[in-house]
Amino acid sequence: MDKKDIRLTLSDVQRLLTILLGKLAGPDGGSWLRALSKFLRKENPWEKPEIFKVIELGTFEDAKALRTALEQAGISIGTWASDILDKVKPAKAKKTVKLVVLSVGELGFPEDATATYTDICKAACAQGLDLCEAEVGPQLRLQYLDQPEGEALVVAMPPLVASDGDLLVSLVKRDGGEYRLNASYIFSGNRWSNSVRFVFVSPE
Protein backbone atom coordinates (compact mmCIF):
# COMPACT_ATOMS: atom_id res chain seq x y z
CA MET A 1 0.00 0.00 0.00
CA ASP A 2 1.23 3.50 -0.82
CA LYS A 3 2.22 5.28 2.39
CA LYS A 4 0.37 8.35 1.18
CA ASP A 5 -2.87 6.40 1.45
CA ILE A 6 -2.36 5.40 5.08
CA ARG A 7 -4.85 7.13 7.37
CA LEU A 8 -5.25 7.17 11.11
CA THR A 9 -7.91 4.91 12.52
CA LEU A 10 -10.59 6.25 14.85
CA SER A 11 -8.82 4.65 17.81
CA ASP A 12 -5.56 6.35 16.80
CA VAL A 13 -7.31 9.71 16.68
CA GLN A 14 -8.98 9.11 20.05
CA ARG A 15 -5.65 8.17 21.61
CA LEU A 16 -3.98 11.32 20.30
CA LEU A 17 -6.88 13.50 21.43
CA THR A 18 -6.69 11.98 24.90
CA ILE A 19 -2.99 12.78 25.10
CA LEU A 20 -3.59 16.32 23.82
CA LEU A 21 -6.41 16.97 26.28
CA GLY A 22 -4.19 15.74 29.09
CA LYS A 23 -1.50 18.21 28.06
CA LEU A 24 -3.98 21.08 27.75
CA ALA A 25 -5.44 20.34 31.17
CA GLY A 26 -2.02 19.97 32.78
CA PRO A 27 0.14 22.56 34.56
CA ASP A 28 1.68 23.67 31.23
CA GLY A 29 -1.69 23.84 29.46
CA GLY A 30 -1.22 27.45 28.40
CA SER A 31 2.03 26.65 26.62
CA TRP A 32 0.48 23.67 24.86
CA LEU A 33 -2.51 25.75 23.76
CA ARG A 34 -0.23 28.39 22.27
CA ALA A 35 1.83 25.71 20.50
CA LEU A 36 -1.34 24.10 19.14
CA SER A 37 -2.56 27.46 17.85
CA LYS A 38 0.72 27.94 15.99
CA PHE A 39 0.53 24.42 14.57
CA LEU A 40 -2.99 25.02 13.26
CA ARG A 41 -1.72 28.16 11.54
CA LYS A 42 0.95 25.95 9.90
CA GLU A 43 3.68 27.61 11.96
CA ASN A 44 6.43 25.68 13.71
CA PRO A 45 5.36 25.66 17.39
CA TRP A 46 8.84 24.67 18.62
CA GLU A 47 11.04 26.71 16.32
CA LYS A 48 14.51 27.07 17.80
CA PRO A 49 15.36 30.72 18.49
CA GLU A 50 18.55 32.28 17.22
CA ILE A 51 21.51 32.54 19.61
CA PHE A 52 21.66 36.17 20.74
CA LYS A 53 24.98 36.15 22.58
CA VAL A 54 27.50 33.77 24.14
CA ILE A 55 28.88 34.99 27.47
CA GLU A 56 31.35 33.66 30.00
CA LEU A 57 30.49 32.97 33.64
CA GLY A 58 32.74 32.21 36.59
CA THR A 59 35.29 34.92 35.80
CA PHE A 60 35.05 36.52 39.25
CA GLU A 61 35.73 35.01 42.66
CA ASP A 62 32.72 36.51 44.37
CA ALA A 63 29.95 39.11 44.14
CA LYS A 64 32.23 41.81 45.55
CA ALA A 65 34.70 41.36 42.68
CA LEU A 66 31.81 41.37 40.22
CA ARG A 67 30.51 44.64 41.64
CA THR A 68 33.98 46.19 41.43
CA ALA A 69 34.26 45.19 37.75
CA LEU A 70 30.89 46.78 37.01
CA GLU A 71 31.89 50.01 38.73
CA GLN A 72 35.26 50.14 36.97
CA ALA A 73 33.49 49.65 33.63
CA GLY A 74 31.35 52.70 34.35
CA ILE A 75 28.12 50.70 34.59
CA SER A 76 25.23 52.48 36.28
CA ILE A 77 23.91 50.12 38.97
CA GLY A 78 20.34 50.83 40.00
CA THR A 79 19.22 50.78 43.63
CA TRP A 80 17.24 47.56 43.24
CA ALA A 81 20.03 45.86 41.30
CA SER A 82 22.55 46.91 43.93
CA ASP A 83 20.29 45.43 46.59
CA ILE A 84 20.51 41.93 45.11
CA LEU A 85 24.00 42.05 43.56
CA ASP A 86 25.70 40.81 46.72
CA LYS A 87 23.47 37.72 46.63
CA VAL A 88 24.79 36.66 43.23
CA LYS A 89 27.05 33.61 43.49
CA PRO A 90 29.46 33.38 40.53
CA ALA A 91 30.12 29.95 39.04
CA LYS A 92 33.08 28.21 40.68
CA ALA A 93 34.62 27.35 37.31
CA LYS A 94 34.65 29.30 34.07
CA LYS A 95 32.01 28.29 31.54
CA THR A 96 30.16 29.74 28.58
CA VAL A 97 26.40 29.96 28.15
CA LYS A 98 24.41 30.63 25.01
CA LEU A 99 21.67 33.21 25.43
CA VAL A 100 18.53 33.77 23.41
CA VAL A 101 16.14 36.72 23.54
CA LEU A 102 12.40 36.33 22.98
CA SER A 103 9.53 38.75 23.45
CA VAL A 104 6.33 37.74 25.21
CA GLY A 105 4.69 37.63 21.77
CA GLU A 106 7.43 35.42 20.32
CA LEU A 107 6.77 32.95 23.12
CA GLY A 108 3.33 32.44 21.63
CA PHE A 109 1.12 34.79 23.62
CA PRO A 110 -1.58 36.62 21.60
CA GLU A 111 -0.77 40.12 20.36
CA ASP A 112 -3.22 41.87 22.67
CA ALA A 113 -2.49 39.68 25.70
CA THR A 114 -0.32 40.15 28.77
CA ALA A 115 1.37 37.38 30.72
CA THR A 116 2.61 36.72 34.24
CA TYR A 117 6.27 36.02 34.91
CA THR A 118 5.43 32.42 35.79
CA ASP A 119 3.56 31.89 32.51
CA ILE A 120 6.43 33.43 30.54
CA CYS A 121 8.99 31.13 32.15
CA LYS A 122 6.78 28.08 31.62
CA ALA A 123 6.28 28.95 27.96
CA ALA A 124 10.04 29.24 27.45
CA CYS A 125 10.78 25.99 29.27
CA ALA A 126 8.14 24.23 27.15
CA GLN A 127 10.19 25.28 24.12
CA GLY A 128 13.32 23.69 25.57
CA LEU A 129 14.90 26.83 27.00
CA ASP A 130 16.31 27.22 30.51
CA LEU A 131 16.20 30.00 33.06
CA CYS A 132 19.38 31.99 33.62
CA GLU A 133 21.63 31.77 36.64
CA ALA A 134 21.71 34.94 38.74
CA GLU A 135 25.23 35.67 37.48
CA VAL A 136 23.97 36.10 33.91
CA GLY A 137 22.49 39.56 34.55
CA PRO A 138 25.66 41.35 35.70
CA GLN A 139 27.88 39.34 33.35
CA LEU A 140 25.69 40.15 30.35
CA ARG A 141 25.86 43.81 31.34
CA LEU A 142 29.67 43.67 31.39
CA GLN A 143 29.94 41.74 28.12
CA TYR A 144 27.27 43.59 26.13
CA LEU A 145 28.75 47.03 25.61
CA ASP A 146 27.39 47.36 22.09
CA GLN A 147 23.79 47.31 23.32
CA PRO A 148 21.54 49.57 21.21
CA GLU A 149 20.23 52.73 22.80
CA GLY A 150 16.79 52.24 24.34
CA GLU A 151 16.95 48.45 24.52
CA ALA A 152 15.88 46.77 27.77
CA LEU A 153 16.22 43.03 28.41
CA VAL A 154 14.67 41.26 31.39
CA VAL A 155 16.77 38.31 32.57
CA ALA A 156 14.52 35.29 33.13
CA MET A 157 15.91 33.74 36.31
CA PRO A 158 14.82 32.44 39.70
CA PRO A 159 14.08 35.74 41.48
CA LEU A 160 16.37 36.95 44.25
CA VAL A 161 14.93 38.22 47.52
CA ALA A 162 15.57 41.91 48.15
CA SER A 163 16.26 43.39 51.57
CA ASP A 164 12.59 44.36 51.89
CA GLY A 165 11.44 40.83 51.03
CA ASP A 166 10.36 41.59 47.47
CA LEU A 167 11.42 39.38 44.56
CA LEU A 168 13.68 40.86 41.88
CA VAL A 169 15.23 39.82 38.57
CA SER A 170 17.97 41.58 36.60
CA LEU A 171 17.23 44.13 33.88
CA VAL A 172 19.98 44.98 31.37
CA LYS A 173 19.38 48.22 29.51
CA ARG A 174 20.93 51.19 27.76
CA ASP A 175 19.23 54.50 28.34
CA GLY A 176 20.42 58.05 27.81
CA GLY A 177 23.77 56.74 26.61
CA GLU A 178 24.35 54.90 29.90
CA TYR A 179 24.86 51.17 30.22
CA ARG A 180 22.69 50.17 33.15
CA LEU A 181 22.14 47.18 35.39
CA ASN A 182 18.71 47.53 36.92
CA ALA A 183 16.15 45.14 38.36
CA SER A 184 12.44 44.43 37.95
CA TYR A 185 9.98 43.48 40.65
CA ILE A 186 8.23 40.15 40.38
CA PHE A 187 4.87 39.96 42.11
CA SER A 188 1.65 38.04 41.56
CA GLY A 189 -0.32 40.90 40.01
CA ASN A 190 2.44 41.97 37.63
CA ARG A 191 1.76 41.25 33.96
CA TRP A 192 4.10 41.82 31.02
CA SER A 193 3.04 43.21 27.66
CA ASN A 194 3.55 41.46 24.33
CA SER A 195 6.64 43.47 23.39
CA VAL A 196 8.73 42.96 26.55
CA ARG A 197 11.86 40.93 25.77
CA PHE A 198 13.37 38.27 28.03
CA VAL A 199 16.76 36.56 28.12
CA PHE A 200 16.90 32.76 28.40
CA VAL A 201 19.62 30.12 28.18
CA SER A 202 19.78 27.75 25.22
CA PRO A 203 20.82 24.25 26.39
CA GLU A 204 22.59 23.58 23.08
131: closest CA among 172, 162, 102, 165? Answer: 102
Alpha helices in the chain (DSSP H): 10-25, 29-40, 63-72, 79-85, 117-126, 136-143
The Cβ-side half-sphere exposure at 170, using a 13 Å CA radius, reads: 29
pLDDT value, residue 126: 85
Query: What does pTM read for this prediction?
Result: 0.78
User: Would the CA dihedral through 90, 92, 98, 103 be positive or negative?
Assistant: negative
Query: What stretch(es) of the chain map to CATH 3.10.100?
Result: 48-202
Measured in degrees and rounded to the nearest 5, phi and psi for residue 9 equal -80, 170
**Is the CATH number of domain 48-202 3.10.100?**
yes
- pLDDT per residue, tens digit, the chain (204 aa), is 344 445 678 887 887 788 788 878 876 677 778 778 888 887 767 667 889 999 999 999 999 999 999 999 999 999 999 999 999 999 999 999 999 999 998 888 877 778 999 999 999 998 889 999 999 999 999 999 999 999 999 999 999 999 999 999 999 999 999 999 999 999 878 899 989 999 999 987
pLDDT for 25 equals: 85
Q: What's the farthest any 2 CA atoms get from each other in the chain?
A: 72
